[in-house]
Amino acid sequence: MRNILYLCVIALFVSCTYSKTKKGEYVLYPKKNLQCLLDSFTRLNCDKKFNEYELYINKEDPHNYTLLLYAGDKSLTMDENQYYGQTSLVYVVSNGLKVKVFSGIEHYLDNGKNDIEKHKLSGGDEHVLWCVKDSFNVISVREVYGAYPFMPLPKQINVDLLPSPEPYIRP
């Protein structure tokens, strides 16, 4: 009888421990093209000592993706994350830095973490944001100054503020 009781206690302990280790964040290993992109981004921005490195992946259709690479002192979606109680479920490592990955699933799936980081707004909002377009495996990258994940991106506008001067011809 005592052996059965010990066996039940051990089974309960193991099952509780196992479920706790299944929750939290998981590391993923990106394909070579994404790893090169992440390595370039983190290498160029690691000297700024940002607290957060994030990757947002938006699949638009079977052949087109928009990725946002973000580095800043606080999460790009900090307010949304706090409001909905969501955290990233997975991350990748690039140049020794943890890059959190968001794809929209964190809104619907619980990773068991209840420690949403609360940040106070500070005066500085220094950050770096790259917009990456992948269309049929053709990658284009540009730095943007304002974008939000899973929303239409601002159009790139090339505007000449002054018209080209007309050549002066004497009558």
Q: What is the pLDDT of residue 28?
A: 94
Specify the pTM.
0.72
Residues whose CB falls within 8 Å of the CB of residue 137, separated by 6 or more in sequence, listed in order: 33
Phi, psi of 34 (to 5 degrees): -70, -40
Residues of the chain with pLDDT under 70: 1-24, 113-124, 153-171
What single letter denotes the amino acid at residue 133? K
Q: What is the pLDDT of residue 147?
A: 82
Q: What is the pLDDT of residue 170?
A: 58
Buried b (16+ CB within 10 A) or exposed e, 94-118: beebebbbbbeebeeeebeeeeeee
Q: Which residue has the tokens 């051990």?
A: 10
Query: pLDDT digit string (tens) for 42-52?
Result: 999 988 889 99
Q: What is the pLDDT of residue 10?
A: 45
